[in-house]
Amino acid sequence: MSFHSDVIIIGSGPAGYAAAIYTSRANLNVVVFEGGQPGGQLTITNDVENYPGFENGITGPELMDTMKKQTERFGAKCISKSIAKVDFSKQPFTVFDDEDQAYTADAVIVATGAAARMLNLESEKEYFGFGISACATCDGFFYRGKKVFVVGGGDTAMEDANYLTHFADSVTIVHRRQGFRASKIMVDRAKDNPKISFLLDSVVDEFVGETKGKIKSLTGVNIKNTVTNEITHHDVDGVFVAIGHTPRTDMFKNILDLDEEGFIITKGNTSYTNIPGVFACGDVQDNRYKQAITAAGSGAKAGIDTERWLMEQRSK
């Protein structure tokens, strides 16, 4: 059996759903493959306070559930399967799910997102969302007057540390070596900020916390010096892990143009990829902003680009 639609969208974060709303509302027949984590990264976020339209904030899962319902209201079909393989070599394009079932479409929108890199410690999994965060812009506000650590030595770590000083009393950057990957100007800015200090040649050995009833909270972190192997305990209220993102683009290697870090390259201020009819939006093509609102905006752009491209093709 084969399934054909006008548009296939791979991914169900804010970018995928926004693209689905725009294309299905334009009367196109749209299928969204939701992947292994329907709703994307926001479904593991607690409160979202910076998404416009929600005066008192909204939880990540609620926001994504609402987006999904809005998508379905216009007729898009959401399938809770992951796409494992694509064939963009000829029209119609074909995508295959993880049971090798093929689906075809005249246009494809890639919105597979990027995963925040984590330290992969057991204790990190335990306290993630309870004092450990991978997004300073999202969660910094909750650390007013508190003591926080930022892990990483890239531009994001420097920028996050500076941003967090708007709220926290003290910010410590924990980095595994002496040199920084971050640009000099960002490092200098962090060094000049009296609220920021550095723990270099240092890695997180373990996150420490407590559980009272059903409430878990991080209380501290054990830091290991990579030169002496000495472990020291530090009381902290929050730790922000800022060690980069990994785009979900493995299946597009040698098919779509990717940058050196694996993010999809889109053309100019559009969602066009190197293959006409294949569009990309959201974090999978944005290593800079990575916000729900910017992903949704980019999904809207991909929806509009797709609809216009299909109209042009069909009028030829």
Binders of ligand NDP among residues 199 to 228 (CB under 6 A) are 203
Q: Which residue has the tokens 């597979």?
A: 112
Tell me whether residue 281 is one of the annotated catalytic residues. no
* Catalytic residue chosen out of the listed positions 139, 205, 283, 305: 139
3-state secondary structure of 143: helix
CA distance 242 to 195: 18
Q: How far is the CB of 189 from ligand NDP (least distance, A)?
A: 10
What six digits make up the tokens of 8? Answer: 């296939």
Please tell me the total number of residues recorded for the chain in this structure: 316
Where does 178-272 show beta strands of DSSP type E?
196-199, 202-212, 215-225, 231-235, 238-241, 245-247
Angle at 117 between CA 255 and CA 179, to 5 degrees: 105
What six digits make up the tokens of 71? Answer: 């998508």
Please say which residue, 93 or 180, places its beta carbon nearer to ligand NDP: 180
Q: Which residue has the tokens 């093509």?
A: 285
Stretch that binds ligand NDP, among 16-24, 30-38, 61-69, 173-181 (CB under 6 A): 173-181
Does the protein bind ligand NDP through residue 152 (CB under 6 A)? yes
- Residue closest to ligand NDP (Cβ): 154
Please, is 206 exposed, middle or buried when counting C-beta atoms within 10 Å of its C-beta (0-12, 13-18, 19+)? middle
Does the protein bind ligand NDP through residue 153 (CB under 6 A)? yes
Binders of ligand NDP among residues 264 to 293 (CB under 6 A) are 287-288
Does the protein bind ligand NDP through residue 155 (CB under 6 A)? yes
* Catalytic residue chosen out of the listed positions 78, 106, 138, 237: 138
Contact pick of 4, 77, 146, 176 for ligand NDP (by CB under 6 A): 176
Please work out the total of residues on this chain that contact ligand NDP, with binding judged by CB under 6 A: 18
Please say which residue, 201 or 257, places its beta carbon nearer to ligand NDP: 201
Please say which residue, 102 or 119, places its beta carbon nearer to ligand NDP: 119
Please say which residue, 59 or 193, places its beta carbon nearer to ligand NDP: 193
Q: Which residue has the tokens 């899962």?
A: 61
Please say which residue, 68 or 175, places its beta carbon nearer to ligand NDP: 175
Tell me whether residue 138 is one of the annotated catalytic residues. yes
Between the CA of residue 306 and those of 37, 202, 209, 257, what are the distances in Å?
Answer: 25, 47, 48, 18
Q: How far is the CB of 201 from ligand NDP (least distance, A)?
A: 11
Binders of ligand NDP among residues 232 to 251 (CB under 6 A) are 243-244
Please report the sign of the dihedral spanned by the C-alpha atoms of residue 33, residue 261, residue 91, residue 296. Answer: positive
Active site (catalytic) residues:
135, 138-139
